[in-house]
Amino acid sequence: MYRVNTLVVMCATLLLISAPAFAGQIYGDYVETRSADIYTGPCFANAEVGLVGDQATLAWRIRKGEWKGVSLDGLSVVAVAKASATLGDPFDNPFPARAVLIVDQNATEDQKCALVEFAQSVGGRLLENIVGVQSAPISMKIGEADQHGSVVLTAGRLARIQTRALSDKDHICGNEVAYYPPLTELTHAMPAYTVADEFQGSGLDREWRIFGKRSAFVGTFSR
């Protein structure tokens, strides 16, 4: 694990020095899981709010693009966060939050810095307080057209996500909607079923293994 303050300050300094006059487009694939159902009805949401939903994992796979002059083609970054309350609850403040970043093992030092700053930029207040940055092999496999909504993400032994498309069997109360929006701006997003959501890392004073919830978003991003 990096020394967080040193890494973040070093990255900010390097990218400020090397930043071009304009930023190029960056785009790719995204998956997010929460510890509360996001595709649900008010009855289920009201039963969970204030009790769960304060944990989230966000992952970006960059198909092509750069961040402040640093190419990030084919690289990924994962953020695992623990908030102070249910994320998306309009009646409670989930901040401050703490987060751990997992950067692609295949990245150079400059690319790791760019991945950290990219994640913090798109993650907003949720990723404002980074308590740890680790490097690991990251794989994100997206299902084909007939498996829309299917994603398998692994970040070494630290984090794992598996999703599938929602089906008729996932409609429990009959009035489900995307009750909470995604935690970051996306060009396309669809709710999905979380087969598995695991975090076995350090820094958040909590690990988890969650199975079988309607708690994921899959989609694409572009900046």
- Rounded distance, CA 203 to CA 158, Å? 11
Q: How many separate domains does the chain show?
A: 1
85 lies in which domain range? Answer: 4-17+24-222
- Give the closest residue to 30 by CA, choosing from 62, 68, 75, 72: 62
pLDDT at 145: 65
> Which region, left, alpha or beta, applies to residue 76 given φ > 0 means left and ψ of -120 to 50 means alpha?
beta
- Rounded distance, CA 167 to CA 76, Å? 29
- Cβ-based burial of 153 (10 A; exposed 0-12, middle 13-18, buried ≥19): buried
CB atoms within 10 A of CB 94: 20
Q: Does pLDDT of 1 surpass 90?
A: no
Q: Which two tokens stand for residue 45?
A: 């949401």
pLDDT at 174: 78
Which secondary-structure segment (H or E) carries 13? helix 4-18
Q: Does pLDDT of 20 surpass 50?
A: no
- Give the closest residue to 150 by CA, choosing from 104, 216, 200, 199: 216
Q: Does pLDDT of 2 surpass 70?
A: no
Q: Does pLDDT of 22 surpass 60?
A: no
Cβ-proximal residues to 33 (8 Å cutoff; 6+ apart), any chain: 56, 57, 161, 163, 194, 197, 210, 215, 216
Using alpha carbons, list the distances in angstroms from residue 212 to 33, 163, 217.
11, 9, 14
- Mean pLDDT across the chain, nearest whole number? 91
Average pLDDT value for residue range 157-184: 93
- Rounded distance, CA 45 to CA 48, Å? 5
pLDDT at 144: 80
pLDDT, tens only, 179-223: 999 999 999 999 999 999 999 999 999 999 999 999 999 999 999
pLDDT, tens only, 27-59: 999 999 999 999 999 888 999 999 999 999 999
- What per-residue string of b and e applies to 181-215 under the rule 16 or more CB within 10 Å gives b? ebbbebeebbbbbbbbbbbebebbeeeeebeebbb
pTM beyond cutoff 0.75: yes
- Rounded distance, CA 18 to CA 39, Å? 42
Residues 78 and 153 sit within 8 Å (Cβ to Cβ): yes
Average pLDDT value for residue range 123-143: 97
User: What sign for the dihedral angle of Cα 178, 89, 31, 42?
Assistant: negative
